[in-house]
Chain A
Amino acid sequence: GESVGLHLPTLSVQEGDNSIINCAYSNSASDYFIWYKQESGKGPQFIIDIRSNMDKRQGQRVTVLLNKTVKHLSLQIAATQPGDSAVYFCAENPVTGNQFYFGTGTSLTVIP
């Protein structure tokens, strides 16, 4: 399968600070990327996506950055809140495939 990895398995941040979660991917032909949030006991929930023709995309309190040169993806969460505590996954969709591949996840803990 494809290799989608995360630099840090755990991340702790103070409430109100910004969080940055990183992801590396290996397939330069991938053209669509997704970030998911998974809370304990629940299924993954879509946060934001980005296509390979973009470098940056913003949502509500979240920003995804894509650096195709180094095959790196990041998720920035502004003013992190306790409700943001969860495991975050990146996923990539190769341009030629029906499948999408997940990284192993980063556990984010927000300290009140």
Chain B
Amino acid sequence: DAGITQSPRHKVTETGTPVTLRCHQTENHRYMYWYRQDPGHGLRLIHYSYGVKDTDKGEVSDGYSVSRSKTEDFLLTLESATSSQTSVYFCAIRDGLNTEAFFGQGTRLTVV
């Protein structure tokens, strides 16, 4: 799976609690992305990173923050989880623009 590990793979959390998802890569790729996948919406971009400490917002960034302190790790934080953030979250990496992206196995998050 192109050296991408997402953790945890499954999580149930309560409304209002903070949650952090981790994406770890061993490919030394420059670009890292966080997507969420919901029925009827396909994959929507939350945030992405184009280098260490360089991040930008995607289509659905409200309620999420990210950090990238080193090349291999990209963290997604839900500052105060809501039920609308129940989803499957995917991390993706790619080496450069106009190249294919490789995806992790996903994290299924349930906010109750």
Contacts and interface: CB of A to CB of B under 8 A. Distances in A.
Interface of A: 1, 31-32, 34, 36, 41-46, 49, 51, 89, 93, 98-105
Interface string B49-69: 010000010110000000000
A39 B42 CA distance: 13
B103 A45 contact: yes
A74 B72 CA distance: 34
B97 A44 contact: no
A104 B105 contact: no
B56 to A, nearest CB: 7
Contacts of A42: 105-106
Contacts of A103: 42
Nearest to A6: B42
Nearest to B58: A99
A43 B36 CA distance: 11
Contact of A89 (B40, B43, B98, B104): B43
A43 to B, nearest CB: 4
Interface in B92-112: 92, 97-98, 100-106
B74 interface: no
B41 interface: yes
B98 A32 contact: yes
Contact of B100 (A1, A49, A102): A49
B101 A100 contact: yes
Contacts of A32: 97-98
